[in-house]
Structure formats: C-alpha cells, structure tokens
Structure 1
Amino acid sequence: MRERFVEVTTDLLDTHDRLSLLTADLSARLFDEARASHPARVVNLGIREQLLISVAGGMALAGMRPIAHSFAPFLIERPFEQIKLDLNHQGAGAVLVSAGASYDIAGGGRTHQSPGDVALLSTLPGWTIHVPGHPDEAEAQLREAAAGDGLVYIRLSNQANQRAHALRGGARGHGFRVLRRGTAGTVIAIGPLADTVLAATEGLDVNVLYGATVRPFDGTALRAVVAGQRDPAVVIVEPYLAGTSVAEIGTALRDLPHRVLGLGVGLEELRNYGTPRQHAIAHGLGGAGLRLSITSFLGK
C-alpha cells in the first residue's frame, strides 16, 4: 500500500496545484522525484513530528491541502496535541497517511507499533478514518481525500486482502459491504483482516460485513443486516486495539437488545520482536484464534 501511496501522491501533486506533501524523514527518499518537480510543495521536516502537524495546519489555513506522512506511532501518538490544537481546534483540514499499522514493523520493537492510533484519533470530532484492506481501496480513498477539505486519516498496512472488497462493482462509498449472509450472528471484518475472517467463518451461519472506513461508523448498514433478529450477536474484528468500535455498535443498536464482542490487538505488550504473523496469532487474530473466539461467543 505504501508503494501505491507514493505513486498516487506523486501523480496528484502534478494535477492539484494546492496539494502539498510533508514528511518527517521516513519515506522522504521515496518522494525524490516529486520533490524535484515541486520543491515548494514537497517538504521534508526531519524528525520533528510535532512540527509536521503544525506546518500541515498552517498550510491548510493558507489555503493548501496538506498530506502529512509517517509511521503510525509518529504520525498520531507523538504529535497528538498538535492534531488536537493545530488541526481540530483551528478548523484546519488535512490528510494524514500512516504506514506500519499495529505491528507491521515488528522488528522495530514497541516504538514502531501503534495499535491505539484509531482509538486515540476517535476521541476527536470530524475525522474520516479509512483502514483500507487493499491497495486499490487505499488509492480511491487517497484521491477522494486529496480533492476534499476535511480531516482524513488513511491507515496503510503491509497486510492486504486478495481483492478490494470495498470497491465491488465500482462502488467507492464508505459503508459496510455484505460479503456473506447468515442467521446466527454478524461478524464485521475491518480492512486487511477480511480474508482471514472469511476463512475463519467458513461454514458458519453468520453474516460477514466488510468495512474499509470505520469513522463515520456505518450503523445504518449494521442495523439493516440484523433487522428482524432476536437479541442479535455482533462480533467486530479490527486490526488495531480490541474494542475500538464497540461503543459505535452500541450506539447503532441502542434501542435493540444485543450482544457484542470486540476482537483486535490486546492491551498487553508483547515484548518479543517476532514477525507480524506471530503478533497476529498471539493476539488471537490468526484464522484458528478467530474461529475459536467467534464460535465460543455465538455458542456454536
């Protein structure tokens, strides 16, 4: 996804005169071509993530459309105060594009892991948060965000599904897509976990919904799927902190008795470096772990 991000952003800079790109050393060399063509609009600020966000806010207030990029912990967690004040408080729009996801850079240790980024950003209003599961989805989300004016976070990952589930039939909406129908419960798969969820629920009598956008949360689609069910059971599988969207489900189904289980990255810090796959299995996000959690919750 990051390679697609570089390719598409380089193209967008050629066609959108008010678009700018800000980096904080990470990935900066990937934009050498774009910097040579647009030296005033492609700026590497060095390892100064707070400044990265503040400059993005200033550019937005000056009428530009900034894209700020770094790894997730350095883009969201480290400069969170600047996001809150220099973007939200000032009413300045920007596009934040991260890489690394929760533990894609497992060899980098805890400093390069950010399972709490979506939960943290969800404490602020007005953000559209995309979690693409395929490079094609990431490209569509990026092109839409570049042409807009609002606050957008695009969370890229090295993990990807085999197909772009959110773009079936050319659709580019932000809502959930129904991948499978069932009657015993509903499982929502977010972003790059869709293929694993589909495999884990093979043969189970459950609905499977897919989402590549988690904020705003598509409660309308969820309600439509569970309509008519008695005491619906909902499982949401997210590739970041477990339970991040449980409150959103509660709000969507607030007038319906229901059960909900949030699966994702656990709070416990895993201190062995390992590989991304090993981290996923340890957090119960491998196929076997997901099937066990889902079937236990549904009672089947």
Structure 2
Amino acid sequence: MRNAFAREMENQAKNNENIVLLSGDIGNRLFDSYKKRFPQRFYNCGVAEANMTSMAAGMAMSGLQPVTYTIAPFNTSRCYEQIKIDICYHNLPVVVVGVGAGLSYAGLGATHHSFEDISILRILPGMHVVCPADAIEVKLCLQEALKLKKPVYIRMGKKNEPLIHDSPPKFEIGKAITIRQGKDICLLGCGNILPVVCEAADKLEKSGIHAMVVSMHTIKPLDTELLEKVFSTFSMVCTIEEHSLIGGFGSAVAEWVVDNSMIQTNLLRFGIKDAFLHKTGNQENARKITGLTSENIVASILKKLG
C-alpha cells in the first residue's frame, strides 16, 4: 500500500502543481523519486504532527492541495484538535493519510496501534473516512480524494497486503465495491482486513454457505443504497474491521440499522474489543489474539446460524 501511495502521489503531482506532500518524519526513502521531481513541494515536518496539520490547513487556505502522511495514530489522535478546528471547521481540501492502521505495527506496542481513528474522525463534520483494501484501491482512493477537494482521511495498511482486485474497479467515495456475489449471508469488510474476509468466505463455502463479500472502503459517507439492499436480502450481515468495536465501521452500520428500522436482520460485528493489546508480536499473531482470523470469523458465524 505504501509503495502504491508513493507512486500515485508522484503521478498526481505531475498533473497538478498545487499538490504538496507533508511527511511526519517517515517515508524519506519512500518519497525519494517524488522529492527529486518536486523538491519545492515536499516538506518533512519532523515529529511535530500537530504543526504539520496546521501547516497543511494554511496551505489549503492559500489555494494548495496538501496531503499529510505519517503513522496512523500520530496523524490522527496526536493532532486531533488541529484536524477538527484547522481543517474540518473550514472545510479545507486536506487529505490526511494514516499508514499502518489497526494492527499493522503490532510489534511496536500501544503507541503504534490505531484502534480508534475511524471513530474519532468520522464524528467530525465534513470529514470523509476512506479505508482502501489493497494497493489498487489506494491508488483510486487518492485520485478521488484529491478530486473531492474536501477533508478526507485515508486509512492504509503498512505493506505486503495481498491484492483483492485483478484489475482496477470503478471506485467512488461513498460507493462500496462488491467483490463476490452470494445468496446466504453478506460479509462487509473494511480496509486491509479484507483478505481475511475473503478467506472466511472461502471457508464458509466449504460448509455450504455462500457469502457475498463487499469492500466497504468508505465509512463516511456510508453506501446506504448498498446497505438497504443487503439488509433487505440477507438474514445475516457481518461487519469486519481491524478497529475497535466501539465507534468504528460496525458501529456506523449499527447506527444506520437502528435509524432505518432494519433490526429484523441479524448483524454480527467483528473487531477489536474494548481493551488495549499488551502482548507484542507481528500482525498475524495480533489478529489471533484479538479474534480477527478467518477461522474465528467462520466459527462465530456458524455458531450464530445454529
């Protein structure tokens, strides 16, 4: 995902001289090619993410299109007030990119875990929250975010995420992408957990359950047309995210379900429970600890189905 983002940033900057990239002291080698071509449009802001966010807001007020980039918790919770007041209050065209969201940096401990970023940013008026599932969606997501010219948060994984798409799909912020059709249940996956969702669908099919799989890359605004369809069609809908169960993607869907009287459909939410992760290890191990594995997802669904 990181490499796809860097390549697309360079492509976009080539065609739009107003694009500026600000980094929070990471990605120095990642952006070598960008810096070589556009040395006047790259700023390493150091470990000063709040300042970086305010700089981006000032640039946006001056007619530029800034993109801020650093590790997810440092580009969200650390500079939350600046995102709220400097960017969203003025409805500025700033794209905030958080890399390594969820459990991507599991081995570095709680400082680098990002379980709350969706919840704190989706509450801000004017903010768009987008969670691409693979490198192809990252590229398309950045293109659309820059066209939108509104506050956008892009929540990315770290690296080596498998491709979900064989070719670029039609991508629109606020419109989900159906990965596969199914007739029994629907699995709504959010962001870089989607490969696990596809694995779960494969395992369910071996048990005779055909699951529809959807990439819900946009958390705000939700694709309500898609939600109306699946909650009117299936007896069970599951949300799966590498984020806290409180306030995240599943919460957003649950709120929509209640507001639209769709409670006749079983909603099963998978995410991180209300607890810090004190053990360290790689992302795969952290997913096992938090229950975000295809095996656990399948077992929970089968148990619920009886």
Question: Do both proteins adopt the same fold according to a TM-score greater than 0.5, normalized to the shorter chain?
Answer: yes
Q: Give SS of 1:126's match.
A: coil
Tell me what 2:214 maps to: 209
Determine which of 242, 250, 262 is the counterpart of 1:239: 242
Identity between Structure 1 and Structure 2 (%): 25
Tell me what 2:74 maps to: 74
Q: Distance in 2 between matches of 1:111 and 1:64?
A: 31
Is 2:231 aligned against 1:226?
yes
Gaps of 5+ in 2: none
Q: Distance in 1 between matches of 2:242 and 2:15?
A: 33
Determine which of 264, 271, 278 is the counterpart of 1:264: 271
Shift of 1:193: 2.3
Q: Give SS of 2:76's match.
A: helix
Q: Distance in 1 between matches of 2:250 and 2:103?
A: 22
Tell me what 1:249 maps to: 253
Gaps of 5+ in 1: none
Amino acid at match of 2:149: D
Higher mean displacement: 200-209 or 268-277: 200-209
Q: Would the aligned equivalents of 1:223 and 1:252 in 2 still touch at CA under 8 Å?
A: no
Alignment of 1:65-144 (within 5 A): 65-144=65-144
Q: 1:48 to 1:180 in 2, by over 3 A?
A: same
Higher mean displacement: 212-221 or 277-286: 212-221
Q: Distance in 2 between matches of 1:82 and 1:250?
A: 29
Q: Distance in 2 between matches of 1:181 and 1:19?
A: 41
Higher mean displacement: 51-60 or 12-21: 12-21
Shift of 1:159: 5.6
Shift of 1:292: 1.5
Q: Give SS of 1:14's match.
A: helix
Shift of 1:251: 4.2
Q: Distance in 2 between matches of 1:103 and 1:6?
A: 21
Shift of 1:290: 0.9
Amino acid at match of 1:245: F
Normalization by structure 1: what TM-score? 0.90
Shift of 1:102: 1.1
Is 2:170 aligned against 1:171?
yes
Q: Distance in 1 between matches of 2:77 and 2:191?
A: 21
Shift of 1:144: 1.9
Amino acid at match of 1:218: D
Q: Would the aligned equivalents of 2:130 and 2:154 in 1 still touch at CA under 8 Å?
A: yes
Shift of 1:228: 5.3
Normalization by structure 2: what TM-score? 0.89
Deviation digits for residues 14-73 of structure 1 (CA, Å, limit 9, x no counterpart)? 221111011111113422333343333211111100001000100001110000000001
Q: 1:266 to 1:18 in 2, by over 3 A?
A: same
Q: Distance in 2 between matches of 1:159 and 1:31?
A: 18
Tell me what 1:277 maps to: 284
- Across the two proteins, how many residue pairs are aligned to each other? 294
Tell me what 2:200 maps to: 200
Amino acid at match of 2:71: F
Deviation digits for residues 76-126 of structure 1 (CA, Å, limit 9, x no counterpart)? 010001000100112222011121111212222111111111111111122
Tell me what 2:38 maps to: 38
Root-mean-square deviation over aligned CA pairs: 2.0
Shift of 1:198: 2.6
Q: Give SS of 1:199's match.
A: helix
Q: Distance in 2 between matches of 1:146 and 1:176?
A: 19
Shift of 1:147: 3.1
Amino acid at match of 1:216: P
Q: Give SS of 2:30's match.
A: helix
Q: Distance in 2 between matches of 1:104 and 1:153?
A: 17
Q: Distance in 2 between matches of 1:7 and 1:209?
A: 26
Q: Distance in 2 between matches of 1:198 and 1:23?
A: 33
